[in-house]
Structure formats: C-alpha cells, structure tokens
Amino acid sequence: MKKTPLYDEHLSLGGKIVEFAGWQMPVQYSGVVAEHVAVRERVGLFDVSHMGEIWVTGPNAEKALEFMTCNNVTSLYDGKAHYSAILNERGGVVDDIIVYRCSKERFLICVNASNADKDFEWLTKHNPTDATIVNASSEYGQIAVQGPKALELVTPLVTGADLSTLKYFHFVECEILGSPVIVARTGYTGEDGVEIFVQADKTADLWRLLLEHGATLGVLPCGLGARDSLRLEAALPLHGHELAEDISALESGLGWIVKFDKGNFIGKEALLKQKEAGLSKRLVGFHLDEAGIARQGDLVTTLDGAQIGVVASGTKTPTVNKALGMAFVETPHSALDTKLTLVVRGRAIAGHVVQLPFYKRSK
C-alpha cells in the first residue's frame, strides 16, 4: 500500500491506520465524534495527500477539458475553480473532480485517490486536441483545513496573498514557509475552509506548522471517519457510493453541473436521451424512524416489502444526531416524506425521504 508524506506524522500522533483506496490512512485520532465536532465548531486538519493532481496545459487545454468534462470550462477565469465530472459515453461518472484555472493554457485537476491513474489514462485516451496531460500526483501533498476558524489559522501563515478576500471556489498561488503552495477555498465537510496543495517534501513541515499555530484555536487532526460523517451530513457524494460508472450523472444528482447548453462533451447524447425519457431512479436523503443504522448495500422497500432501491451511504452523525443516509430509489417513491422500509441485517426499519442536505452551515 502507498503512504502519504504524512504517514510518520500520523503514527506519532497516535492515528489509527487503515487501508483506503490502496493507501495507508488514519481513520481517527482522538475519536470520530470529537474530530467531527472540532470541524463543525473550530477547525480540523485532514491529510488528503492521497488525492490525485493532473495538469492539463497548452494552447488547447481549455478546449480539451470542455469536451472531456461536463461543466462549462469556458466560464472559468484565472483563480476560479469549479466542481465537475468526467463522464463515460453512457453518462456514468468516471470520477467527480475539481478543475482549477491558473490560466487559459494551464489547468489543475484534483481527482479522487482510487481513480488517479484511471483518470489520467482516460483523459489521455480521450484527449481531442494536442493538450499536454501530466499526472503530477506524486509531486504534491495536500492538507485540508476545515471549520469556522480555518481562515483564522491559515491567513497569518501565507505570504504573497490576502486570504481575507478569497471567495468560495477561488484559489491563489502563494507561499507558506518560503515554499510555493496553492490555497483553494474548497473542502469536503460542509464547513468553510481551505485545501492546500504543497510540495510533497514540504507537507510534513506544513502539517506541524498548522498544528502548532492552531493549538490556541482548538485544532484537531482528523481522520477518514470524521471526513465521511461530515461529508454525509452535507450530502456530498462519494465515488463508489453515490457516484459510479454505471449510474448516470443525472441519477446521482449532478444535473446542476451538467451543462447541456455548451458544446459537445462525452456523455452528452446519452444524458439528453435520459433527461427526455425521464429518470427511472433518483438519489434521495432519508432518516430512520426507529433504532438502527442503514449502510451501503442495504435494500430499500415499500411498506409492503416491494424492493424499490438500495442505500448508497448511511450512518448516525454527531451534528444532526440522527440515523440518516442517501439511497437510490425508483422515481415514484422519491418525493419528500415518502415512507420507506430499510432492510438492515434482515430487520425491517421504518424511514422516510427528507430534504438534502441534512446539515447546512450558517453563513
């Protein structure tokens, strides 16, 4: 298994290491609930160095990405990022990504850990131009600083940029500890914060600096457990759960980033047909009305036992303090407040469809 540049730091902090997408990663340090609460109320640090970084450059970089991704790349400007997806010809999600525009001829794509090599091969194979595509994942570490005090922690450490004016889904190229970094106001927790791309050999120095300066703010190192509970409360999809190559972007609720009014892109024709025909299933949120926790793969049925769907993700989260999850259900059963039955270890548990997201921070 692979190790991030922070592996030794995790061990020194008592992180519990597990296998995740081929990487040895911390699932928790002080505990999932404590780490979850730290991000909601103060600030937490996540090692996300396992994520992949792919550069697309050259005079035709924008044109290539416009065809290979579903969001409108031409709407970006220097210093702006957007959430997007790489789709297959059937409209399924190869991966969900963030695209950062440094210039019209220089774009950075952040991809999911388990998909980095696959995404690179896909983009290289489907490149419609002579754009240069480089998998630079091994060159970077990445630290997510998340929570209402995240900017208070990071801003004093940065030189060459003013983070106080950095808007959501914007980024700056600047320096920390004299080393070049990219600081993006993005995240995967439903809270404010930034994600910092740093040279791989400087990642541990940055991690220790953030822990040191964040001590008075109540910073905690956080693992995969809190990352998952936080993203689920915010109803942020996870590839392999809510997103997959055999589930269309529309079925997964990504219709808002599928720009049919732009030029041609991979998967457009299939999604147009599906949109015109109507979706047979949809992703919904649910609460359980009885004791229990539904997990990925658990069946969803009507009250009389007819199967109508399957759970994509589920748990009981600290902030909402309810057993909840997201599931794919047949469209006629997707309306708010529809009563459902979730089959958990052979036991039928009552639930109902609720509005997403489960949690939304106050601005």
3-state SS track over the chain: CEECCCHHHHHHCCCEEEEECCEEEEEECCCHHHHHHHHHHCCEEEECCCCEEEEEECCCHHHHHHHHCCCCHHHCCCCEEEEEEEECCCCEEEEEEEEEEEECCEEEEEECHHHHHHHHHHHHHHCCCCCEEEECHHHEEEEEEECCCHHHHHHHHEECCCHHHCCCCEEEEEEECCEEEEEECCCCCCCCEEEEEEEHHHHHHHHHHHHHHCHHHCCEEECHHHHHHHHHHCCCCCECCCEECCEECCCCCCHHHCCCCCCCCCCHHHHHHHHHHCCCEEEEEEEECCCCCCCCCCEEECCCCCEEEEEEEEEECCCCCCEEEEEEEEHHHCCCCCEEEEEECCEEEEEEEECCCCCCCCC
pLDDT at 363 over 90: no
Question: Residue 311 has what pLDDT?
Answer: 98
Question: Residue 263 has what pLDDT?
Answer: 94
- Mean pLDDT along residues 215-235: 98
Residue ranges covered by each domain of the chain: 2-49+138-233, 280-363
pLDDT at 307 over 80: yes
Q: How confident is the model at residue 152 (pLDDT cuts 50, 70, 90)?
A: very high
- Mean pLDDT along residues 237-247: 97
Question: Residue 362 has what pLDDT?
Answer: 82
Mean pLDDT of the chain: 97
- Mean pLDDT along residues 125-137: 98
pLDDT at 179 over 80: yes
- Mean pLDDT along residues 175-182: 96
Query: Which CATH number applies to 280-363?
Result: 2.40.30.110
Task: Dump pLDDT digits (tens) for 312-355.
Answer: 999 999 999 999 999 999 999 999 999 999 999 999 999 999 99
Task: Dump pLDDT digits (tens) for 44-74.
Answer: 999 999 999 999 999 999 999 999 999 999 9
Q: In CATH terms, are 2-49+138-233 and 280-363 the same topology? A: no
Residue percentage of the chain with pLDDT more than 70? 100
Domain 2-49+138-233 has CATH 3.30.1360.120: yes
Q: Taking the model in full, what pTM does it have? A: 0.96
